[in-house]
Amino acid sequence: MEPLAHPHSAPGPRRRARDLGIVVGHTATGPLDAITDVPGVRVGHTTVRRQPDVHSGVTAVVPDAVGPRAPLPAGVFTGNGYGKLIGTTQLTELGALETPVLLTSTLSAFRVADALVGWMLERPGCEEVQSLNPVVGECNDGFLSDIRARPVHEEHVRAALDAASGGPVAEGCVGAGTGMVALGFKAGIGTASRTPELGGRSFTVGVLVQANFGGTLRVLGRTVTPRSLGLDAGGPEPAAETGSCMIVVATDAPLDARQLTRVARRAVFALARTGAAYSHGSGDYAVAFGTRPGAGAPVADAALGPLFEAVLDGVEEAVLNSLLAATTTTGFGGRTVPALPADRLLAALAAPPLPPVR
């Protein structure tokens, strides 16, 4: 029996960080507080489930008109290289993004890359293309999903790409986030945006995370664990040495590939704010791209500070959104991972901090 595939499917809505009064930083967000606030960026998901063993999928971040004939400036940063980010070497060498950025499960990454190449070769203007660099990131969903089944197929990839749209972005247990676990809680896809002012001009930067990393959650500087919230999954937990995070950053600021690599670094640095452990087995990567190359005078390096801060804040908020949007999931082998309950989180944040241990 084939897994069920659901383009843009997601559980019922849960409140995001800002809905709960959890505000990260002081820079204003875009209207949707999502990566799709950046003009010309669309997102599509296909969720692949077969109860109880398969909880997987694919997420596509699609810049308008991207292709080998019209590459976008891009940078990539590896925080810890225990991962299978396909397309890294050419992206590093040329600083040019030729395809949408796709996210999926570890052992499905290679099928997804092949499907992305096939989809791209059918695009207008690609009739004579003989070289193409697909960019596909992954996280390991093997704790909650039968990863060896490699359930993500070409039709799922094409559905995510074809359904990609602007507007609100589904978060949590959707697409590539369906089987993800982070910081002791069920996690998944999260997104956020900011509108920093650089050199007297206002721009938008948006982030999307596939959160699946280990560590101890920190919210506005307060440590939060399942045990501190009175939660008990009653079973095994993911190994401390496993986990990853893929981050995609998009901006309409006219930056070159070198500057976008600097932006990507800040995106990975931001995971530390949320309590990331950056363990041996964690593949922590960020890909950053610009949507408007040559649109106006380039931003000077000395003016990039507000953009760096915006990325740090945006990634922190996107991780929180990935947790708050997710729902408790029982998956492969009967393992259960609890969702982060908003009411208990707010109560914990409102409680006076414990005195320091002497």
Active-site residue, selected from the candidate residues 9, 105, 193, 244: 244
N- to C-terminal Cα separation, the chain: 59
Give residue 9's pLDDT band: very low, low, confident or very high (50, 70, 90): very low
38/127 Cα distance (integer angstroms)? 29
Q: Which of 145, 279, 282, 322 is catalytic?
A: 282
Q: Say whether pLDDT at 241 is over 90.
A: no
Q: Where are the alpha helices (DSSP H) in 63-216?
A: 88-94, 109-121, 154-163
d(CA 19, CA 24): 12
> Residue 7 has what pLDDT?
59
Q: Taking 60 as the threshold, does the pLDDT of residue 313 lie above it? A: yes
pLDDT in tens, 251-269: 999 999 999 999 999 999 9
Cis-peptide into 52, omega within 30 deg = yes
How far, in Å, CA of 311 to CA of 46, rounded? Answer: 26
Residues 328-356: tens digit of each pLDDT: 999 999 999 999 999 999 999 999 876 76
Instruction: Count Cα neighbours of 165 within 13 Å in the Cβ-side half-sphere.
Output: 9
295 band by pLDDT with thresholds 50, 70 and 90? confident
Burial of 25 (0-12, 13-18, 19+ CB in 10 A): middle
Do the beta carbons of residue 247 and residue 267 sit within 8 Å?
yes
Which one from 37, 141, 252, 284 is the annotated catalytic residue? 284
How much of the chain exceeds pLDDT 90, in percent?
88
Q: Is 9 a catalytic residue?
A: no
Instruction: For 143-162, write each residue's pLDDT tens digit.
Output: 999 999 999 999 999 999 99
Residue of 247, 314, 269 lying closest to 59 (CA atoms)? 247
Rounded Cα distance between 336 and 353, Å, is 30
For every residue of 288-326, which 3-state class applies, written as one string? Answer: EEECCCCCCCCCCHHHCHHHHHHHHHHHHHHHHHHHHHC
pLDDT digits (tens, 9 = 90+) for 196-219: 999 899 999 999 999 999 999 999
pLDDT for residue 10 is more than 60? no
If you ran DSSP here, which 8-state letter would residue 213 be given?
-
Closest CA to 8 of 41, 64, 65, 57: 57
The letter for the amino acid at 182 is: A
Q: Considering just the CA atoms, what is the radius of gyration of the chain in Å? A: 19
Of 106, 299, 288, 96, nearest to 209 by C-alpha is 288
Identify whether 165 is a catalytic site residue: no
> What's this model's pTM, rounded to 2 decimal places?
0.95
The domain 4-9+16-328 having CATH identifier 3.60.70.12: the answer here is: yes
Residue 105 annotated among the catalytic residues of the structure: no
Q: Which pair of tokens denotes residue 156?
A: 């799922």
User: What residues contact 68, with CB distance under 8 A and at least 6 apart?
Assistant: 98, 120, 126, 129, 131, 132, 133
CA–CA–CA angle 117, 123, 125 (5° rounding): 115
